Structure 1
Amino acid sequence: MGGRAFPVLVRRALLPVGLLLVSGWFLQHALFGTSGLVALEDIRAERDALLAERRGLAARKADIEARLALLDPRGADPDYAEELVRRHLGVVRPDEVVIPLAPEPRRPDAG
């Protein structure tokens, strides 16, 4: 009877040991996995950086939308449109006099 006791003991212990191993595997991943408790601070720092970038992009988007509203054909700001045309196309009215300026010499200490 002592010879059969060992296989029975192994069979009885197999389920609890297997459950313990599976539980340990899940616990290890919950603590040390890519999104576990150890990585939580890194995840929070990355989230904060992404939120800051999002706020910056939202401000940039609002600025672009405001400038686009100034160019809306139904109510374009004539002064802003004229400024853009002059700056990008170099347009000059016939009654204006253009005085070319010599470029300023570069200082040696200016990067």
Structure 2
Amino acid sequence: MGFFGAYAVTGSNGIFALGDYKQQIAAHERQYQQLDQQRTMLRNRVALLDPRHANPDLVDELVRKELNVAHPDEVIIPLK
């Protein structure tokens, strides 16, 4: 009986492990929130690229980025 009682307190699923589980849950919830924000941002960008009514500013940005082109009168400021 003593062994089972000690294992219930100090075992891998015991009372002492409860704090670690709570920390893991909190870390996973933070990660989930970050992923949810990224998903929302990507969903918005996809909606802006809808072929029926694409956002001209976003299309222009993507074309310039992919083709590496600029107008002669534009000033390019590189970002780190």
TM-score above 0.5, yes or no: yes
Listed as ranges, the gaps of 5+ residues in structure 1 are 1-22, 102-111
What code does the residue aligned with 1:83 have?
A: E
TM-score (norm 1): 0.58
Identity of aligned residues (%): 35
The residue number in structure 2 matching 1:44 is 22
Deviation string 1:38-82 (CA, Å, 9 cap, x unpaired) is 111111111111111111110111111111111111221122111
SS at match of 1:75: coil
What code does the residue aligned with 1:31 have?
A: V
Greater CA radius of gyration, 1 or 2?
1
Tell me which of 9, 32, 40 is aligned to 1:62: 40
The residue number in structure 2 matching 1:53 is 31
TM-score (norm 2): 0.77
Are positions 1:30 and 2:41 aligned together? no
Matched residues in 2 for 1:32 and 1:83: separation? 57
Higher relative contact order (CA 8 A, sep 6+): 2
The residue number in structure 1 matching 2:58 is 80
Q: Over aligned residue pairs, what C-alpha RMSD do you find?
A: 2.4
Q: How many aligned residue pairs are there?
A: 77
Are positions 1:71 and 2:54 aligned together? no
Listed as ranges, the gaps of 5+ residues in structure 2 are 76-80
Deviation string 1:10-54 (CA, Å, 9 cap, x unpaired) is xxxxxxxxxxxxx43432322111121011111111111111111
